Amino acid sequence: MKKILLAYNPISGSATFKKNLDELIEKFQRRNILLTKCERIFGAAGVI
């Protein structure tokens, strides 16, 4: 089983990515890939 760490900023942009995240995770699982999500919030001073 392959493993992928997905780091993303949940408050960035129009939030389209976050709305489709469950579907993305399901697609990876169907291919026997473990996708771990990591919500990161990036501000002007760096990672918060």
pLDDT in tens, 5-15: 988 887 777 77
Look at residue 38 in the predicted model and tell me its pLDDT.
Answer: 87
Q: Is 29 helix (H, G, I), strand (E, B) or coil?
A: helix
User: Domain count of the chain?
Assistant: 1
Look at residue 11 in the predicted model and tell me its pLDDT.
Answer: 76
Is the whole model's pTM more than 0.85, yes or no? no
Domain encompassing residue 13: 2-47
- E strand residue ranges, 1-48: 2-8, 33-39, 42-43, 46-47
* Closest-CA residue to 41 (of 13, 16, 12): 12
Give the chain's residues under pLDDT 70.
41-48
To which residue do tokens 């990161």 refer?
A: 40
